Amino acid sequence: MAENGSSLNETFLNQYDNGEYLSILGISEVTVLGVCLVLTLISSTFIIVILHKVENCFGDMTQFIFKSLAVTDFLTGIFCCGLTMIGLVVGKDRGLISQILCYVGWAACTGLTGLSALLIACACIDRFIAVVYPLRYCTLVTMKRFRVVLAVICSIVLTNAAFSTLRGGFAETDLCLSDFSSTRLAFRPCLVPSLLISCTSVIVATVTNVKVMFVSSGQSKRSPRVNPPQVVLQNAATIQHRGNRKGLLVLIATTVTFFVAISPWFIISASHFSHKTAITLPLARYISTVLLLSNSWMNAFIFSIFNKRFREAVKRVMCRIPLNYTV
């Protein structure tokens, strides 16, 4: 009996090590990711519906960028949270299925994270032009030009996503995104352009937001004497571009939240450039991944807290108030 019990115990442990049984820790990880997935899908869908039904919550271009960002967050929930959950449940030793989940998960997270960072940078540049050069805004920023910029951005992130399927020459294993149980090193060449995209976006967002804040505060303090024709032009510009300044506080909050959320993940990823500096603690990788993915459901709360027009738009949509007048 004792030998049979021992053999059964060894068989169970072997099956557990091979990923045939999901541990309590694994169940907790899947549960947290599941909550993140549900919040992301609900939040992103909520933003898309509100911004689609009510057209003047923000400036025209800012609203289009925020809508694109919500679509990106929705895809992040499906492909990043969803595939990471499936990878945890299926396990890492399932042959072709595990490899497909690993490659698609890495490509999706790499591409969508870069796309989010670049969209936020575009929104900051749009705010900068609207506030600093209000009279030239309509000629400089057009939907046609932004579509060209968006196509270039998508090409960049798709290339980097495809690049993410390669691993570094000194990596010990082809470590999957959902493998939080391993302490092995897994450097990927796509980290180089990913870090470059994120750092560039941070610099652009910081410089433009600081400049916009200084210009806005300076304009509110001074009231220069101008000729009547200039007054008419200034009033027309103010009325025309008043919506362009609605999303300033929201944009700053969104920018700070996004880059704070992704910083731990990129710090840990950047540490894998060397064996000596690599952070391989599984718990650190898991927490940084959850923070990275959690950013996708925070925007709905940010919009509701910092933008009165968005809150009023939510009331109108939820209460089915006619949408034939402006907020």
Asked if residue 10 belongs to a domain, the reply is: no
- Digit-coded pLDDT (tens) for 212-221: 888 876 655 5
> What does the pLDDT read at residue 72?
94
> What does the pLDDT read at residue 12?
34
pLDDT over 70 at 236, yes or no: no
> What does the pLDDT read at residue 100?
78
Tokens 């650190």 correspond to: 284
The CATH number of residue 214's host domain is 1.20.1070.10
pLDDT over 80 at 152, yes or no: yes
For residues 62 and 120, is the Cβ–Cβ distance under 8 A? no
Asked if residue 108 belongs to a domain, the reply is: yes
Mean pLDDT of 247-251: 76
CA dihedral angle for residue 283, residue 200, residue 254, residue 165, rounded to 10 degrees? -50
Average pLDDT, the chain: 75
Strand, coil or helix: 45: helix
Asked if residue 147 belongs to a domain, the reply is: yes
In the chain, the amino acid numbered 299 is N
Return contacts of 164-168, CB within 8 angstroms, 24+ apart: 164/106, 164/107, 164/110, 164/111, 164/188, 164/190, 164/194, 165/103, 165/106, 165/107, 166/190, 168/272
Asked if residue 59 belongs to a domain, the reply is: yes
Asked if residue 89 belongs to a domain, the reply is: yes
For residues 306 and 249, is the Cβ–Cβ distance under 8 A? yes
Give the domain extent around 182. Answer: 27-318
Asked if residue 281 belongs to a domain, the reply is: yes
Asked if residue 15 belongs to a domain, the reply is: no
- In angstroms, the Cα distances linking 144 to 61, 140, 147, 149, 241 are 11, 11, 5, 9, 19
Q: What is the pTM of this model?
A: 0.78
pLDDT over 70 at 74, yes or no: yes
> What does the pLDDT read at residue 319?
78
Mean pLDDT of 293-308: 87
For residues 65 and 303, is the Cβ–Cβ distance under 8 A? no
Number of compact structural domains in the chain: 1
Asked if residue 103 belongs to a domain, the reply is: yes
> What does the pLDDT read at residue 247?
61
